[in-house]
Amino acid sequence: MNKHFAESELIINGDGSIFHLHVKPEQLADKIILVGDPGRVALVASHFDTKECEVESREFKTVTGTYKGKRITVTSTGIGCDNIDIVMNEIDALANIDFNTRMEKEHTRQLEIVRIGTCGGLQTYTPEGTFICSVKSVGFDGLLNFYQGRNAVCDLAMERALLNHLGWSGNMCAPAPYIIDADSELVERIAGDDMVLGVTVACGGFFGPQGRQLRIPLADPNQNEKIENFEYNGMKITNFEMESSALAGLSRLMGHKATTVCMVIANRRAGRANTGYKNQIDDLITLVLERI
Ligand code: R1P
Ligand code: URA
């Protein structure tokens, strides 16, 4: 039996669009690019050959158009996994729930989602300007723990190994990390020789959770050193950002394909940052548009 969703659970605006994104079902493409910065939507859309709609609400800006014949939707998520919860549930509803009957559709429509972001590099081989495609994401954000099926899609053995390595217990740096794979076929198609395949930690903050200490000391002063040293089945943790875990996790649970590609704008080991990255990220956008 397909499910029916009450008005309070699936909030639809008077014009038939979904509550936060303000996008209507017919405006969503199967290929989706997510970016954090609303300003990056125009940069992606500047490559489009045609545009069919532009919608904006809060930090969520959306353009649907075509690139070399491919219909693509680009949407900004703002910062953080809490916003990914909104964006992923709303785009999945646009694709898989009938807005007239409020019933789940008979057949699941699978979406292909690539997040293009910025990140901090954690290894000597990930200096500023490196493009990293996330093969796995480590969630320091706790979002996936609110959904049933979390244990079935996460890498429980790697989670245990990381927790043992970090030595965190009780409420130190809680919630416990969850580890989730990106879609392997999508990773193979999106990542070329021009990208590092990486393990990305998505943090619930830019400062403390990423081991940045300004005036307030960290709960675990050795956090980043331990993260940089962690090795599991030949993999090392390569970068910090703030959305890839919830994106990979919710996509797996919903039956969509997803991965995250980021450009390193700060190398934490070298203590260097580059704030003039806006032109260079356009190169990453072009690679993704060609390969999605
Ligand atoms: C922090 O500055 C923001 O930058 C990164 C982080 O994930 C976080 O959203 O990604 P975006 O450049 O896509 O926003
Ligand atoms: N985005 C992050 O989340 N961290 C960084 O260090 C840089 C960009």
Tokens 């400062």 — which residue? 207
Instruction: Tell me the best of 115, 116, 210, 244 to mutate to test the pocket of ligand 2, counting ligand atoms within 8 Å of each CB and taking the most.
Output: 210
Which bound ligand lies closest to the C-alpha atom of 211?
Answer: 2
- 182 token code pair: 């990106």
Last residue of a domain, one of 89, 109, 129: 109
CATH number at residue 60: 3.40.50.1580
- 216 token code pair: 């307030």
The Å distance, Cα 287 to ligand 1 centre, comes to 19
pLDDT at 84 over 90: yes
Report the distance separating Cα 247 and Cα 2, nearest Å: 25
Q: Looking at the structure, tell me whether residues 155 and 17 fall in a common domain.
A: no
- The answer to whether position 169 is within a domain reads yes
What would the pLDDT profile of 3-58 be if each residue is shown by its tens digit? 999 999 999 999 999 999 999 999 999 999 999 999 999 999 999 999 999 999 99
> Angle at Cα 68 formed by Cα 65 and Cα 71, nearest 5°?
35
pLDDT confidence tier of residue 2, bands split at 50, 70 and 90: confident
Distant-in-sequence, close-in-space partners of 176: CB < 8 Å, separation ≥ 6: 159, 163, 168
pLDDT at 1 over 80: no
Q: Looking at the structure, tell me whether residues 39 and 158 fall in a common domain.
A: no
- Nearest Cα neighbor of 136 from 243, 259, 256 is 259
pLDDT at 87 over 80: yes
pLDDT score at 279:
85
**How many structural domains does the chain have?**
2
Last residue of a domain, one of 88, 109, 130: 109
pLDDT score at 270:
94
Which bound ligand lies closest to the C-alpha atom of 82?
Answer: 1
pLDDT confidence tier of residue 142, bands split at 50, 70 and 90: very high
**Range 255-275 average pLDDT:** 96
Task: Give the ipTM.
Answer: 0.99
- How would you label 168-181 residue by residue, b for 16+ Cβ within 10 Å and e otherwise? beeeebeebbbbbb
Q: Looking at the structure, tell me whether residues 140 and 259 fall in a common domain.
A: yes
Q: Looking at the structure, tell me whether residues 128 and 101 fall in a common domain.
A: no
pLDDT confidence tier of residue 125, bands split at 50, 70 and 90: very high
Domain limits at 235? 117-275+286-292
What would the pLDDT profile of 154-205 be if each residue is shown by its tens digit? 999 999 999 999 999 999 999 999 999 999 999 999 999 999 999 999 999 9
29 lines ligand 2 (CB under 6 A): no
Mean pLDDT of the chain: 97
pLDDT confidence tier of residue 278, bands split at 50, 70 and 90: confident
The Å distance, Cα 249 to ligand 2 centre, comes to 20
**Range 65-76 average pLDDT:** 99
281 lines ligand 2 (CB under 6 A): no
Report the distance separating Cα 60 and Cα 83, nearest Å: 9
- The answer to whether position 281 is within a domain reads no
Report the number of secondary-structure helices (H) and strands (E) in the chain: 8, 14
Q: How far is residue 145 CA from its own chain's centroid? A: 16
204 lines ligand 2 (CB under 6 A): no
**Range 120-140 average pLDDT:** 98
Q: Looking at the structure, tell me whether residues 71 and 12 fall in a common domain.
A: yes
97 forms beta bridges with 104
Q: Quote helix, strand, coil % in the chain, to nearest 5.
A: 30, 30, 40
pLDDT confidence tier of residue 277, bands split at 50, 70 and 90: confident
